Each structure stands twice: as structure tokens, then as C-alpha cells.
Structure 1
Amino acid sequence: MGRLEVQYNNNWGSFCFRHWHEHDTDIVCRMLKYGHTKGTSYSAPRNGSSVLIGALQCTGHENDIGNCKADLDKSTCTTKVVGVDCTGNINVRLGDGQHPLEGRVDIYDGRRWGSLCDHTITVDAAKVICSTATGYRDTQPVFTHMRGLEFHQGEFA
């Protein structure tokens, strides 16, 4: 999981998020040997990374983004670049919140639900969690470490 970068003409840079498609994410995940995992993309901060690719023109069936046509026009690119998570169809939910878009992060391990206990979670990781749990692709999460006071603990932590 992280900002997607590519080397082009001996320069490293990012992809513009504005024209990114979910099938582009799937191609990247296949290229990185995650098989036919359904990946997730999200808008990541540039953090000094230059944008090299304005858009990819892919059919969705390629096994490598090198087989797609690259549009180098970056004139319509905003400040956001592409981040990719190829971990697959992980079951994530937000539990015990006051509404469906907030709560403790729960993850299903294939047998039971449990709470995510990680005090080092980053904003980018929180964006992927929010996207996975709520279905909203371009989120701006607000999160705090709850220390068990506001939410009940899940089965594992």
C-alpha cells in the first residue's frame, strides 16, 4: 500500500489521480504479482513527488502498465496522485460508531471479527480503511486512538 511511482526516461514520478481508473489499479496489482486481486486506489498527497503520467489508457486486461498507452499531459492534474493497495478483498467495518461512517476499525480474519489495534496508523492507511469500509473512494478521514474508552473491544486486538 502506498503512492504509486514509475520510472520514465530515467526520472521517477507519480500518476495523476484525476484520470485514474479502478481497472488501472487491477493491472498494477497483477504486475506486482498479487494475482487477480481486486485492488483499491486512493488519492495520496504528492509530498514532493512530481507527476510524470497524466493518465493511462488501458483496456483492463493488460498484465503490465507498460502495455498501456501513457498520456503525458499533466495540465489538468490536481495536487493528488495515485496510491494503490493490492491486499485484496479484506473485510473491514467500522463498529460501535454513532453513524455508519465512524467507529472502531474491525477486520475479519476469515473466522471472526476483531479490532485493529495500531497506534502508528497513518493518514494514508486511514484513507484505505475508510474506502474499504464505507465504499467512499476519495475520503479525508479524521481519526483518533481510542484506548478502549469510547468503543467496546472486538474479539482480537
Structure 2
Amino acid sequence: MNITCSESIRLVNGDNRCSGRLEVKSNNSWSIVCEDDFDQQDAEVVCRELGCGAPSFLQGALYGETEAPEWSREFLCEGHESALLHCKSSSSSQKFCSSGKAVELTCSVSLRLVGTTSRCAGVLAMFYSEEWRPVNVYNSEENWNHESATAVCSQLDCGSSVFQEVTEDSTWRYVWEIESSCW
């Protein structure tokens, strides 16, 4: 299993790892990005780099004020790049982001429950590599328990788990296989 973690961007003060104020690391310090210099294509790249689903909300002043310095360049992403710092950019002199103008972003969470009318019940599916697939838990008898299910519920803002069951799907299809130690 290969894992790549982003060391150059983060979303802070949000409800989960896929929402918050965007900060970019440069010269070992974190800086904000001005809302005026950020668009939908840039948001798509950020959400992809963080392993989240598509951007669902882009606005300033949602996740509190910041003392972080402002970022000094505009990102010119085309939307297909794998990382924000891989996008073209236009350098400019140091900018001042006025209050409430830092980029704040909500990406869809990369997990969801499908197959029922409730967003808090169903088969666990995960978004990765630009597609949704059901999740198959590796060695589920040993690795899947109430704590694992509660971690998923918590990430989905659905409280704690009240029921969990590992089922075998009789139809053949591609799945994402995980170990519950990832939770």
C-alpha cells in the first residue's frame, strides 16, 4: 500500500479534514490564500490533493479569522493537476488579504453510506482516484468492530454507530479494500 500525504496544503478550523480555511506551506511557514486569487479549478485540485471528494462550497469568513501571512501569488490551475503547487501561478508582490477574504473551502467527504434513503445508513463507499466504490474490510472478522463503525459515523457527522454488519456481496465488482487500523 502506498500513501502520499500532503505536506504543502491544509484546511484548518473546519468540521472535518475536508473543510476549513486553506493554508499553503512556503519556506517552513503556513500562509493563507486570498479568496480573490482562487477559483473552482483551484478548489478541485486542493480537494483531490487532500483525498477528499469534489468541492461543494467555496467562500470566505466561514472558519474564523487568521493571523497567518497572506500568500503572494495567484494559482492558475486547470483542474487536472494532482497538487496545488503543481499549478501554474502568477507571482506578485506581497498582498494583503482583507478581513474575511481568506479562501475557505468545503470538499465532499471521501466516505459515504449508500443504498438507503438516509445519508447515515447503508453500505460504506469511498471516493478515491476519481471514483466511488464500495469498501471491503480486509480480514473483517478481526479488524472491523463498533469503534471502526463509530469512526466512520463520526466522519460523516452522523453521531455514533448503533448497528454494523459485515456482509458478503454476491455480485462481482471492483471495491476498495482497507484495514480498519486506518480509522
Normalised TM-score (structure 1) = 0.50
Distance 1:54 1:110 in 2: 45
1:65 corresponds to which of 59, 74, 84: 84
Point out which structure has higher relative CO (alpha carbons under 8 A, 6+ apart). 1
Partner of 1:23: 41
Q: Does 1:81 align with 2:99?
A: no
Deviation at 1:113, TM superposition (A): 8.5
Equivalent-residue separation in structure 1 for 2:108 and 2:80 (angstroms): 19
Q: Using the alignment, how far apart are the partners of 2:116 and 2:22 within structure 1?
A: 29
Structure 1 contact 54–72 (Cα < 8 Å) conserved: yes
The count of residues paired between Structure 1 and Structure 2 equals 96
Which has the larger Rg? Answer: 2
> Do 1:31 and 1:63's aligned partners in 2 also have CA atoms closer than 8 Å?
yes
How many percent of aligned residue pairs carry the same amino acid? 27
Distance 1:15 1:34 in 2: 19
Runs of at least 5 residues in structure 1 that lack an aligned partner in the other structure: 89-108, 115-155
Change in CA separation of 1:39 and 1:24 when aligned onto 2, cut-off 3 Å: farther
Q: Does 1:48 align with 2:54?
A: no
CA 54–46 in structure 1, closer or farther in 2 if over 3 Å, else same = farther
Once the 2 structures are TM-superposed, how far is the Cα of residue 71 of structure 1 from its aligned partner? Answer: 3.2
CA shift in 2, pair 1:112/1:52, >3 Å? same
Rounded to whole Å, the distance in 2 between the matches of 1:26 and 1:39 is: 10
How many angstroms does 1:68 deviate by?
A: 0.9
For the Cα contact (< 8 Å) 1:23–1:60, is it kept in 2?
A: yes
Describe the shift of the 1:110–1:77 C-alpha distance in structure 2 as closer, same or farther (beyond 3 A).
Answer: farther
Aligned structure 1 segments of 4 or more residues deviating by more than 6 angstroms: none
Match of 1:141 in 2: none
Alignment CA distance shift 1:9-1:52 (3 Å): same
